[in-house]
Every structure is written in structure tokens, then in C-alpha cells.
Chains A and B, each alone.
Chain A
Amino acid sequence: MSISGEDPLERAGKIDFGGIHKEVSLAYVPEAMVGDYVIVHVGFALSRVDEDEAKKVFEYLKQMEDLSELKEAGA
């Protein structure tokens, strides 16, 4: 939601956890920008969520579904 701090190790961000707002350390995600989703553990962002990678599981499921429909049609 917002980012503060100049020193990379002091960098902190206000994060929206589904309505609850908390300040967490961004020391380990220098690439994180306002609007990004991050994985947070004990007050530290550990990883920025990659939105393209996040879609993969749904694409995989869709492919699986198409494949099984194809098989049914073939049978």
C-alpha cells in the first residue's frame, strides 16, 4: 500500500492482509513496488508473488479438462 525507508535494510511497507493493515520489513524484497503481492513471514516480506507463474496452476487444470473432454468425445 505504501513504502518508506531509504536504507535498503530499513525499507518497510504497509501491507493489506485482506483488510488488516500491517507494516512489514521489505529488506529482502528490494524489487517490491506498491501494488505488488508479497509472501510475509514474522513481519518480513520474503518473496514477491509472480503473477504470471501464479496463473500456471489454473492453465494446467484447464488443459487437463480440455484433454479429458477430447478423450470423452473420442470415445
Chain B
Amino acid sequence: MKFLDEYRDGELAQQFAREIHRVTTKPWTLMEICGGQTHAIVKFGIDELLPEEITLIHGPGCPVCVTPLEMIDKALEIATRPDVIFTSFGDMLRVPGSATDLLSVKAAGGDVRIVYSPLDAVKLAEQNQAKEIVFFGVGFETTAPATALAVYQAAQKRLRNFSMLISHVLVPPAMEALLLSPNCRVQGFLAAGHVCAVMGFEEYFPLAKKYRVPIIVTGFEPLDILQGVLMTVQQLESGRAEVENQYSRAVRREGNQPAQELLKKVFKVVPRKWRGVGEIPKSGLGLKDEFAAFDAEKKFGVVENRVEESADCRSGLVLQGQIKPHECPAFGVKCTPEHPLGATMVSSEGACAAYYRYRRLPDLIAAK
């Protein structure tokens, strides 16, 4: 497929790898923000092409993984109601809440449906006026414009049986939280290309300056990631800390203006709890007051219960890049994609799932 296959060329990947070897003189630790990038890195073995001085650590950019346990429990409570059709992206169904998951609610007779787009949930609401349709709105700035348009359309159509359980998160505040952590090892970031396609990359300039850290807007194909790594290492080796755009075929500096306008119309910035990380100020999006009628939390009066994570799951440390997935004692033993303890083992963007799927398990377990 055009704009895909040519970015997976093995020879050209080797050429980038050789250049990275050539310019690297010191050890450097880089973090790729997005779980989609993590999967590409592990799937194509990109980390294995790099010199041993370069460590790639995997960031928190897996929306399913960072959705707080309390929010999953709220979803479960709403999905169990007989008057509700609960709609969600497929990834969320197997994420463990404190007692069960959405798939089990579905198996027990709950009407839980996977949708491709939030607009499908709006259509369902039009077709099922006697039911309450709830959409589980999770994700980063990439997904938020889709959710925003669904809410906006529902408001225009005056749908009274449509609402959303919103748990949207924002990337730059999470990067800052990581940089402020005393355990932070990150010296350079590969920023998430698709988030930047929406938001542009002006928000990263103050971060790069304040924390002296190179930030390279990077795509998702092997050649993108290798070029992103090369650009980061070139900056680190020459003592620069700038924002650069590797993914210029899809990302403009100002981002996607129509999408940003609708985000501003529908959402306000709120504090948000991140699973495994804790609350980060100004790191989430919530519905503005004029769209409060579409807020499922208010509509169904779900209350937040404090709940404890599985004691065996270290996904919080994985999400902050402090350990690699296989360094968790439960990895591949107590925790597998069939019986996940944490969301990082479930999601197609989760680092634990990537390691489980693409790496040879005996090697990883032997390396423990």
C-alpha cells in the first residue's frame, strides 16, 4: 500500500541504523510516547538494530492502559443496567476493572457493543430511542475530535438517549509529569505523530526549552521511527534540545484547526487520574457545562469508589518507563493476554502485550 510499504524497506532501515551507530558516542535513553510506536518497535525489532548505547523506553501513550480503574468500574456499573446499550472501542472490553470486565458483563447478558467510530454510537441512539446509548470516550488528542463531533451531532439532533463516559487524556502534561519525576531517565522524546497531526507541535517548545530535552514528532513506520531516533541522537550528541518534525507528511506545526476548534467547543481541560501513574493536573478533557446533558456520569449518578490495583501488576512502572514489561514478576506467568492483570497486557497499544506477542517468551523469562 502506498505510504506504507516503502517505509518498511529493510535495506533503507539498515542504512538509518548504520548512521545511528556512526553518530552515537555516548549512552542515551529515549522514550517513544505512543503505544503504536512501541508495537512497531517491538514487532519490527527496531530496538535490536540500534547500538547498545541507545535505550528505548516505552511511554504512557496507550489510552486503554491509562484509563483509571475507577472509570472502568463506572463503565461496568452503567453497562450492567438493563436500559443501556453500552458502546466502546473493542480494546476496552477485556481491560480488568476491580472485579470484572466489560466482556464478562456482555457474557452475562449486558448489551455491550463494539463500535468502529463514536458516530456509530450516535446512529444507534437514533435507531433505539427506547434505550439509553452510552459511549465510552477514552483516548488521547487523536481520538478526542471524534468524540467531540459525536457529542456535537447528538446535541444538534437533540438526542436525549445518548451520553458519554469520558476519560480523555492529554499528552504534554503527562510528558511534563514524567520529566518532573525524580526517577526520570528520559533524555529525548519521540512525540506521537498522530496526536501532533491534531494538535500541532507548538505546545512542545516550552517543554523542550524548560527541561533541555529534544522532542521529535515521529511517525509510526520503521523508517519513521529510525529517522526519529537518529534526529534525537544527533541533537543529544551536539548538545541541542529542540522540537523537530520527522512526520512532516502528516503533521503541520499548527495541527488540524477544524479539529481543535471543535475540541474547544465541546471540551474543557480538567485534572485526570492516569492508571498506574496517579492524578496529573490539567491532563484530561471533560465535557463543557453546556454539554452536561451528555455526561453519563451525571446522567446515571455513578459514584467513584476507591479501589486497589492487583498487587502483582507493575503496569504503573511500565507506563512510566521505569521497568520493561518482562521485568515484572507476573509477566508471562500470572499475567498473559488470556488472563491479564493489567491493561498494558490487553491493549493492542500496551507495552506488555507487544512484548508477549512479538518477543520469544523463553528468552524474556530467562532474562528475568
Contact = CB atoms under 8 A, between A and B. Distances in A.
A50 B249 contact: yes
Contacts of B250: 39, 46-47, 49-50
Contacts of B158: none
Interface string B218-260: 0000011001000000000000000000001111100010110
A74 interface: no
Interface in B27-57: none
What range describes how many residues of B lie at the interface? 35 or more
A64 interface: yes
B145 A46 contact: yes
A51 B186 CA distance: 33
In this complex, the member of B116, B120, B146, B194 whose beta carbon has the largest number of chain A beta carbons within 10 angstroms is: B146
Interface string A44-64: 101101110110111011001
Contact of B117 (A25, A28, A49, A56): A25
Nearest to B256: A28
B118 A64 contact: no
A41 interface: yes
A28 B16 CA distance: 34
B258 A60 contact: no
A5 interface: no
A27 interface: yes
Contacts of A18: 1, 4
Contact of A46 (B15, B139, B152, B197): B197
A50 B146 contact: no
Nearest to B248: A53
Nearest to A65: B15
A56 B250 CA distance: 12
B143 A42 contact: yes
Contacts of B143: 41-42
Given A42-B146, A50-B248, A30 B197 contact: no
A3 B256 CA distance: 20
Given A42-B118, A43-B120, A43-B146, A28 B259 contact: yes
A58 B15 CA distance: 11
A27 B89 contact: no
B3 to A, nearest CB: 6
A31 to B, nearest CB: 10
B142 interface: yes
Interface string B152-168: 11000000000000000
Contacts of B259: 28, 46
A54 B249 contact: yes
B139 to A, nearest CB: 8
B194 A46 contact: yes
B77 interface: no
Contacts of A1: none
Contacts of A33: none
Interface string A2-40: 000000110000000110001011011110000001010
B194 A39 contact: yes
A44 to B, nearest CB: 5
24 contacts: A9-B153, A17-B1, A24-B117, A25-B119, A25-B146, A28-B258, A30-B258, A37-B2, A41-B143, A42-B89, A42-B118, A42-B142, A43-B120, A44-B117, A44-B145, A44-B149, A46-B145, A46-B250, A46-B256, A50-B250, A53-B248, A58-B6, A61-B12, A64-B15
Interface of B: 1-4, 6-7, 12, 15-16, 19, 89, 116-120, 139, 142-143, 145-146, 149, 152-153, 194, 197-198, 223-224, 227, 248-252, 256, 258-259, 262
Given A37-B2, A39-B194, 8 more contacts: A25-B119, A29-B258, A44-B117, A47-B252, A50-B249, A54-B249, A57-B227, A61-B15
